[in-house]
């Protein structure tokens, strides 16, 4: 049972553009929402995370927007760069349980 739905599956963005990846969750008990970035041949690395008591968190060019009532959260990458080309995973977590989205393959064209 997929508890975290991620879209789109793949995304192509021009350099300097904004990349937006969306996730939706079902279980309202989730209380921690991290995003991971994975480059080919590497394990996923924590990028940014948010808790549901805030609606937005920004770290550099990366921003998480969180909508608790809609049970949705998204990752925005501003001024996307070719070096951002990777697979991005959203996740939702509660005690004893972390669920991942299916991943989004982002390609930033120069």
Partner 1 sequence: KAGVTQTPRYLIKTRGQQVTLSCSPISGHRSVSWYQQTPGQGLQFLFEYFSETQRNKGNFPGRFSGRQFSNSRSEMNVSTLELGDSALYLCASSLRQGWTQYFGPGTRLLVL
**How far is 50 from 107, CA to CA, in rounded Å?**
24
83 phi and psi, to 5 degrees? -70, -10
For partner 1, which is the closer residue by CB, 31 or 79? 31
Q: Which residues bind partner 1 (CB under 8 A)?
A: 32, 34, 36, 41-46, 49, 89, 93-103
Strand-pair partners of 88: 37, 104
For partner 1, which is the closer residue by CB, 2 or 14? 2
Minimum CB separation of residue 5 from partner 1 in Å reads 11
Minimum CB separation of residue 16 from partner 1 in Å reads 29
- Which residue, among 19, 23, 22, 35, has the nearest Cα to 85 in the 3D structure? 19
């Amino acid at each position: 049972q997929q508890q975290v739905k991620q879209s789109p599956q793949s995304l192509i963005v021009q350099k300097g553009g904004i990349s937006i990846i969306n996730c939706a969750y079902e279980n309202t008990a989730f209380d921690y929402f991290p995003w991971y970035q994975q480059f080919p041949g590497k394990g996923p690395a924590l990028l940014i995370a948010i808790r549901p008591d805030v609606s937005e968190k920004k770290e550099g060019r990366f921003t998480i927007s969180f909508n608790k009532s809609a049970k949705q959260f998204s990752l925005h990458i501003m001024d996307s760069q070719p070096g951002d080309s990777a697979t991005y995973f959203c996740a939702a977590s509660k005690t004893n349980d972390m669920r991942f989205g299916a991943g989004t393959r982002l390609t930033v064209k120069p």
